[in-house]
Chain A
């Protein structure tokens, strides 16, 4: 059973950089795209960006200038960095596996709560 575990700093000050990482246990890593999704308090889910083994990325246009996705196949890890965070970036952040060609996410991490406060 594929499992994704995620970690990263949960409390940031405005203007700092959010950094989150996920590791994939079991199953194929190279055959899939991997994605980041967030849920601000009291709101719905928001797609952030996706990455594949070749390092090809796509990012929500509203975050493109601040977000960097990366992947390390040797350690089966993928990461998200979001620069210059503000209170609007406070959310629960999830990493997930993309069920490619179906535009669905079939394996999810448990989520990391990120708070932005001075």
Chain B
């Protein structure tokens, strides 16, 4: 069982927006602003799409945005495209004895 809680799946039509939540505790998300998000396609390594809650690495589309409130971080994908299909994982640093903890992943389906 993953430390951070994400919905198992989210689906929407092309062009729509979706938001994926990631719930943690006072040991991680609520206390720190080091939340990152990863996009994962089968057979590839995960790809960093956001770090420090809302910062985008170079080359990442501005359709990806992030926010945080209390113990919950969120990833919003606007203008959903077919290429956005895949699994998305949240991650946070933690005072719980490990470097980082991850969510269980959310499968995004573009209808």
Query: Which residues of A lie under 8 Å from residue B36 when comparing CB positions?
Result: 102-105
Task: State whether the Cβ of A29 lies closer than 8 Å to any Cβ in chain B.
Answer: no
Identify which of A4, A47, A104 contacts B98 (C-beta below 8 A): A47
Q: Which DSSP category, helix, strand, loop or mixed, fits chain A's interface?
A: strand
How far apart are A18's CB and chain B's nearest CB, in angstroms? 18
29 contacts between A and B (CB under 8 A): A35-B99, A43-B104, A44-B102, A44-B103, A45-B38, A47-B99, A47-B101, A60-B98, A61-B97, A94-B46, A96-B45, A102-B34, A102-B36, A102-B51, A102-B52, A103-B32, A103-B51, A103-B99, A104-B52, A104-B91, A105-B36, A105-B91, A106-B48, A106-B51, A108-B45, A108-B48, A109-B45, A110-B43, A111-B43
Which A residues contact B (CB, under 8 angstroms)?
A: 4, 35, 43-47, 49-50, 58, 60-61, 94, 96, 99, 102-106, 108-111
**6 smallest beta-carbon distances between A and B, as pairs:** A108-B45, A103-B93, A104-B51, A104-B36, A103-B34, A44-B104
